[in-house]
Amino acid sequence: VVLKKIVEGPAEIQLVSDGVFYNPVQEFNRDLSIAVLNVFTEEYIAEKETLIQKKNKENSGNESAEDDTPKVEVNLLEALAATGLRSIRYAKEVPNLTKILANDLSKKAVETMKVNFEHNQVADKVEPSLDDACMLMYKHKHPATRFAAIDLDPYGCPSIFLDAAVQSVQDGGLLLVTATDMAVLAGNSPETCYCKYGAISLKTKCCHEMALRILLQCIESHANRYSRYIVPLLSISADFYIRVFVKVYSGAVHCKKTTSKLGMVYHCKGCDNMTLQLLGGFKPNPTEQRPDQEKAFLPAAPTVGTHCENCNQRHSLGGPVWAAPIHDERFVTSVLERVEGDDTQSLRTRNRIQGVLSMVREELQEVPFYHTLDKMCGRVHVTCMPMLIMRSAILNAGYKVSFSHAAKLSVKSAAPTAFLWDVVRAW
Ligand code: SAM
């Protein structure tokens, strides 16, 4: 008996039993993931083909050897698949995916999936699986059985799945991770955030970008345990959740650079200012003679005091957070161009994707966090000044400025905070 029918993109889902999860608000999440996967799979295939061709030529010792490159398989695991809607859409809308495994712990969910894979004629490409997501991923941690992409879209916090996920994705493969426990990540429960993500969250105007940076830090720390590291492609805050797309690579030497990609956050309780202090990094150590230790780890010297230099109120401390870029500008541009050039109109949230990605592409990557104009003006008891005037003042002073997609009225700039306060006070 079909209880309800849902149409999203080219997929039609029949809900055949109660209690199987479906959230229409996540359509944007699914559309965006399809756009990202289309670009990722294209690039993944090209990278793998180049590697295979190089190896073939080395093995044959013949530069002009016949090209017999085998077809690159691109398999994806949807570890928490519920109705299977996402997997059906991936099968229909990401042609480069060769095989999809759609898993759920719930028998009802897997029964629903089976009906829908047949109904949508994707049963040859999408396989249903009834298993605990972690147990399933652990069975795929050998390099020969890893997935090119793993999608984690749980209720709430994804951290319990990360240990397995970072081990069972291919080198150069993609992790797509959603977190919906925004209250925890946005500073309502910093202790719980530490327990789940290994970082203290803060209640600040930048809480959504901070949530993204906490999640990235958490994935990186899981990856580092297995000499792997992440490269973020796109990190989005939307509605009631965050979603990150990161590539995973292996390399113990690269993992040593992690400390220079992480920082503690000093947050002023008085003026809401945020200052990032890197954990440390690799710097030339002049006292060290041996060439292999030429670049020794030096912890960053503490430069941030207990009190804020703008208003002399106390700092509270949060983090560690990811302090390096949270998007890859080149990749974001490719996704944006693809969405703009897509005439199939299958993505109903296409306009929203274009809007968000255009903003993301402009974000100043070298400036973590931002100020919000309304909060700054409120703090000095003036009516909110026009954004155009603030941005012109910053540009005239010779600094770059951008919005952040994560907050309205955001001002991202490397201009000194004291200068920004002067502009607001002078308004
Ligand atoms: N990705 C789906 C979509 O886009 O429609 C929604 C997934 S829903 C938020 C989370 C699903 O995870 C539920 O169907 C639940 O049964 C499943 N789940 C929870 N814990 C699990 C586990 N340990 N292993 C596998 N599935 C699990």
With 90 as the cut, is the pLDDT of residue 58 above it? no
Q: What is the pLDDT of residue 56?
A: 87
Write the residue with the smallest CA distance to atom 14 of ligand 1.
82
Q: What is the pLDDT of residue 297?
A: 64
Q: Which residues pair with 215 in a beta bridge?
A: none
Q: What is the pLDDT of residue 19?
A: 82
Alpha helix segments (H runs only) across 155-280: 159-167, 182-185, 190-197, 207-224, 252-255
Distance between CA 273 and CA 275 in Å, rounded?
7
Tokens of 216: 């990235």
Q: What are phi and psi for residue 296, nearest 5 degrees?
A: -95, 160
Q: Is 157 left (phi over 0), alpha (psi -120 to 50) or beta?
A: beta
Q: Element (H or E) spanning 402, and its range?
A: strand 401-404
- Close Cβ partners of 8 (under 8 Å, ≥ 6 residues apart): 24, 27, 30, 85, 89, 348
The sign of the CA dihedral 205, 207, 212, 218 is positive
With 90 as the cut, is the pLDDT of residue 304 above it? no
Compute, in angstroms, the gap from residue 153 CA to the centroid of ligand 1. 7
Compute, in angstroms, the gap from residue 105 CA to the centroid of ligand 1. 7
Atom of ligand 1 nearest to the CA of 155: 9
Q: What is the pLDDT of residue 63?
A: 64
Tokens of 6: 């849902």
Q: What is the pLDDT of residue 149?
A: 99
What's the whole-number mean pLDDT along residues 341-362? 92
Whose structure tokens read 């208003």?
311
Q: What is the pLDDT of residue 261?
A: 95
Q: Give the chain's length.
A: 427
Q: What are the structural domains of the chain?
A: 4-55+72-256 (3.40.50.150), 370-427 (3.30.56.70)
Q: What is the pLDDT of residue 280?
A: 81
Q: What is the pLDDT of residue 105?
A: 98
Q: Is 11 in the pocket of ligand 1 (CB under 6 A)?
A: no
With 60 as the cut, is the pLDDT of residue 284 above it? no
What's the whole-number mean pLDDT along residues 245-255? 96
Angle, alpha carbons 134-138-142 (nearest 5°): 155
Atom of ligand 1 nearest to the CA of 83: 5
Q: Which of 34-38, 198-202, 254-258, 393-397 has the lowest mean pLDDT?
A: 254-258
Atom of ligand 1 nearest to the CA of 160: 23
> Which of 80, 83, 89, 103 has most ligand 1 atoms within 8 Å of its beta carbon, as the pocket-test mutant?
80
Q: Are 74 and 150 in contact (CB under 8 A)?
A: no
Q: Tell me which residue of 337, 379, 378, 386 sits closest to 357, measured CA to CA.
A: 337
Confidence of residue 310 (pLDDT cuts 50, 70, 90): confident
Q: Is 101 in the pocket of ligand 1 (CB under 6 A)?
A: no
Helix pair 107-119, 85-93: axis angle to 10 deg: 30
Residue-wise pLDDT tens digits, 271-281: 889 999 999 86
With 90 as the cut, is the pLDDT of residue 419 above it? yes
Write the residue with the smallest CA distance to atom 4 of ligand 1.
86
With 70 as the cut, is the pLDDT of residue 64 above it? no
What's the whole-number mean pLDDT along residues 382-410? 97
Q: Is 86 in the pocket of ligand 1 (CB under 6 A)?
A: yes
Q: Is 209 in the pocket of ligand 1 (CB under 6 A)?
A: no
Q: What is the pLDDT of residue 65?
A: 58
Residue-wise pLDDT tens digits, 150-186: 999 999 999 999 999 999 999 999 999 999 999 999 9
The ipTM estimated for the assembled molecules is 0.98
Q: What is the pLDDT of residue 416?
A: 94
What's the whole-number mean pLDDT along residues 328-350? 92
Distance between CA 364 and CA 350 in Å, rounded?
24
**What's the chain's average pLDDT?**
93
Confidence of residue 227 (pLDDT cuts 50, 70, 90): very high
With 90 as the cut, is the pLDDT of residue 324 above it? yes
Confidence of residue 295 (pLDDT cuts 50, 70, 90): low
Helix pair 85-93, 27-60: axis angle to 10 deg: 50
Whose structure tokens read 């970072």?
166
